[in-house]
Amino acid sequence: MTWLEPERALEAGIDFDRANAARIYDYLLGGACNFAVDREQAAKILTQNPDMAYVCRANRDFLRRAVEWCLAAGITQFLDLGSGVPTVGNVHEIALAHRPDARVAYVDFEPVAVAHAHEVVDGLAGVSVTRADMRDPDRVLGAPGVRDLLDPALPTALLTVAVLHFVPDPELPAILARYRDALAPGSVHVISHGSADHDDPDLAARTRAIQDGYRGSATEVVLRSREEIRDCLGGLELVAPPGHLVDIVDWPTTSPGVRPTGGYAAIARIP
């Protein structure tokens, strides 16, 4: 693909020397938008926890279920922070299949993710791609791809799926609150987040092993406790199932016999 030509890649600011979470995730999902350094880091992660590819697929399945839940609730606008490299089952593919009038604003900072996303959505009405740091809500919300696409008067789903554990900023709850404050009543905040806060010590150990596997990459992992993840949701009401953070595989209903991932998922309703 043209965006991987060395000269253009360097101009785009792509870091060839350190692995990046978006490209590692793409590789673990079977994508082709990754470099040798990402595959080497992925191999290290899989050595630490062979379940990692399974965790990525489970998280992708959660994203699909969450988008479909939002659509069923009448929410047709999506602001996807840390959207990553588009692979099969993107938010816009899911949303547009159900609602041709849906609008999806992708936001990511990683150059490969942004470049490939532009190629994937080129020519699609109702879909935009913005390169910006999600830690700067004013810049994100004011970017043309967000400001001119999403109607501030309509409910929006704020998607933070498998991204916040790559954001070490201690001000993260306040940052997320600024996004939610900008959304219309009836909007929701969708989250999935890795954690080692589990009653099962083996599951906690497997999740910490994933964290160890990312050490040395450009995007190291921060594992937050259940309480800290709830703080990221600002104490809002959790829906489906009501009031509870659950493992990704158990949202919105419990899946007996399905191997847990070590990540928590929830949708919080913005009053």
User: pLDDT by residue (tens digit) across 181-217?
Assistant: 999 999 999 999 999 999 999 999 999 998 998 888 8
Give the Cα separation of 213 and 52 in Å (integer): 10
pLDDT at 17: 78
Domains of the chain with bracketed CATH? 2-269 (3.40.50.150)
Q: Are 151 and 77 in contact (CB under 8 A)?
A: yes
pLDDT band, very low/low/confident/very high, at 104 (cuts 50, 70, 90): very high
- Provide the H-helix boundaries in the chain: 6-11, 21-28, 36-48, 52-72, 91-98, 111-121, 137-142, 144-147, 172-181, 201-213, 226-232
Mean pLDDT lowest for which of 44-53, 195-204, 251-260? 44-53
Q: Is 144 exposed, middle or buried (0-12, 13-18, 19+ CB in 10 A)?
A: exposed
Does 3 score more than 60 pLDDT?
A: no
pLDDT, tens digit, for every residue of 209-229?
Answer: 989 988 888 789 999 999 999
- Please, what is the end-to-end C-alpha distance for the chain in angstroms? 44
Q: From 39, 134, 162, 22, select the one nearest 84 (Cα to Cα).
A: 22
Instruction: Please state which of the ranges 7-11, 50-54, 126-130, 164-168 shows the lowest mean pLDDT.
Output: 7-11
Neighbour count for residue 30 (Cβ, 10 Å)? 11
Among candidate residues 17, 159, 1, 184, the one with its CA nearest the CA of residue 82: 159
Q: How confident is the model at residue 9 (pLDDT cuts 50, 70, 90)?
A: very low
**Per the structure block, which two tokens stand in for 107?**
């936001």
pLDDT of 64 reads: 96
Q: Which residue has the higher pLDDT, 179 or 87?
A: 179
